[in-house]
Amino acid sequence: MTPMRVGRNDPCPCGSGRKYKHCCLLEQSASVADLHEQTWRRVRQAIDGYAAAMLRFVAEAYGPDALQQAWPEFTIGRRDKLLDSDRFVEGGPHTELFFSWLFHKWSPQAEKGSTIADAALYGVSPTRAYLIRRAGRLDPLLKRYLEACLAAPFGFYEIRDCEAGVGFLARDVFSGTELKVRERSASATLQDGDIVFAQIVELSGIALVEAVCLFSFPPLYKTHLIHVRQRAELRKYPDLALRGLYFSLAESYLHPPAPKLHNTDGEPLEPRTLYFDVDYTREELLSEAKLDAAGAVLEASIPWIRRNEPKRASLETIVLGHLRIEERKLTVEVNSAVRARAFRALIAKLPLNARYRRTRRQPLKTALSPGPAGAGVKLTPRDADADELMRRPEVRAHLEEFQRRRYETWPEVPLPALNNKTPLEAIQDPDGRETVEALITQFERDAARMLVPPSAEVFTALRRRLGL
């Protein structure tokens, strides 16, 4: 007779009168956790120090130059920019991954130019050779672990349910496989939504990290992985294709190219200053103009503003440029060539006696404050005036309202990351839904670094609207 399944909210079969989830289920869960902890400790003890022994074996069996022969194959011929070297140097950002790949995946081939000490080991990975030649002297648990390493692929994993000092759930971005990983050190630094390139090994009901890259990719990188995961080469040559993808993403993350900056209209940021001679009357200028003792206009500064339809844009108004009039000279500062041409066309239609003189292109650096470069650095500190401004309740309220409206309208905006679909359209298919989820996770990650962070309720409402 099949035993009746007890639900979490059912009365506990032990007769205590409490719900099952508050009684015996807790004890059973604790027992499973204790068992996994004991298994983890035994495995860690069995494999402790094996990497050093493997390196010695590789040098003896494959030759002292084996690492340098394997390195170009591992990196697919890429030059390590961090080390500025095409040779392996221990301590680089890819060292841990390289050693695991060398042990478990490298299979030297004479036809590829490999020259190893023992010809019998051509086509044999070091781990397989180690298991064959040292079988009688190895801990049985270590042997099982190394067999599992031979079968475990490298892959991109999304971190979920991370518990510092305990472990996390690792979801393979390409296959969807989920592994409950016990890992104390990495779990102390990773966050939910991070993407790591790693080799994760299953053994005796637990999963352990055999190797992981020294840095994690932010959630935004998942959108690219989703876009490419249907490529044929990833199915035909998974090890090679995934490594190539990893090195490509690592290079863009650790050595980001100069950003292509655009204004609110999507135009390339190219500051321009236009110069005109003008005749004007006092009534044509703003009341804030500087006047001399006789009441003559000395100087006036006027913003060039475009008002938007509130339902069609997140900004009610956009400042297209700044006009300054001084001693019958009109100077116009804009941030793109398109706006410079637009202003010249506009002023030609106005009943204003303005004679165009010239346009000067300004260096971009004069229009931007210096910011951080590369991965993992802190934001540029604000100065005292900016801090004082951000403390004003009216300023904070305005920015909070702007952020709220931005995220309210975001589901209806076509996005390049979604193949120009809106988030509401994209969530209708599984890949689009995952991409939208990754984008929102990135928003939440970035929120903490904003001058005025949006509240958590903003993202809760956004997820609720999208059914996430």
pLDDT above 60 for 126: yes
pLDDT above 80 for 283: no
Pick from 59, 54, 50, 53: nearest CA to 118 = 59
Please, which pLDDT band fits residue 188 given cuts at 50, 70 and 90?
confident
State mean pLDDT over 299-319.
61
The confidence score (pLDDT) of residue 380 equals 44
pLDDT digits (tens, 9 = 90+) for 423-460: 999 999 999 999 999 999 998 888 877 777 788 888 88
pLDDT above 80 for 249: yes
State mean pLDDT over 82-97.
77
d(CA 39, CA 217) in angstroms, rounded, equals 30
Give the DSSP per-residue string, 428-442: TSHHHHHHHHHHHHH
% of the chain exceeding 90 in pLDDT: 32
Long-range residue pairs from 435-438, CB within 8 A, at least 24 positions apart, any chain: 435/222, 435/223, 435/226, 435/227, 436/466, 436/468, 437/468, 438/193, 438/219, 438/220, 438/222, 438/223, 438/226
pLDDT above 70 for 389: no
Average pLDDT of the chain, as a whole number: 80
Please, which pLDDT band fits residue 103 given cuts at 50, 70 and 90?
very high
pLDDT digits (tens, 9 = 90+) for 31-71: 556 667 777 788 888 888 899 999 999 999 999 999 999 99
Give the DSSP per-residue string, 315-349: -SEEEEEEEEEETTEEEEEESSHHHHHHHHHHHHH
Tokens 């170009």 label which residue? Answer: 72
Q: Which residues contact 357 (CB under 8 A, 6 or more apart)?
A: 275, 276, 277
The confidence score (pLDDT) of residue 84 equals 55
The confidence score (pLDDT) of residue 244 equals 93
d(CA 114, CA 100) in angstroms, rounded, equals 19
pLDDT above 70 for 233: yes
pLDDT above 70 for 163: yes
Report CA dihedral (316, 319, 325, 326) to the nearest 10 degrees. Answer: 120
282, burial (CB in 10 Å: exposed 0-12, middle 13-18, buried 19+): exposed
pTM of the shown model:
0.70
463, burial (CB in 10 Å: exposed 0-12, middle 13-18, buried 19+): middle
Helix, strand and coil percent figures for the chain, each rounded to 5: 45, 20, 35
Pick from 194, 247, 257, 214: nearest CA to 71 = 247
**What is the arrangement of strands in the sheet containing 317-326, beginning at the earlier edge strand?**
290-291, 297-307, 317-326, 329-334, 272-279, 353-361
The confidence score (pLDDT) of residue 105 equals 96
359 in Cβ contact with 275 (< 8 Å): yes
pLDDT above 80 for 206: yes
Q: What is the DSSP letter of 419?
A: T
pLDDT above 60 for 376: no
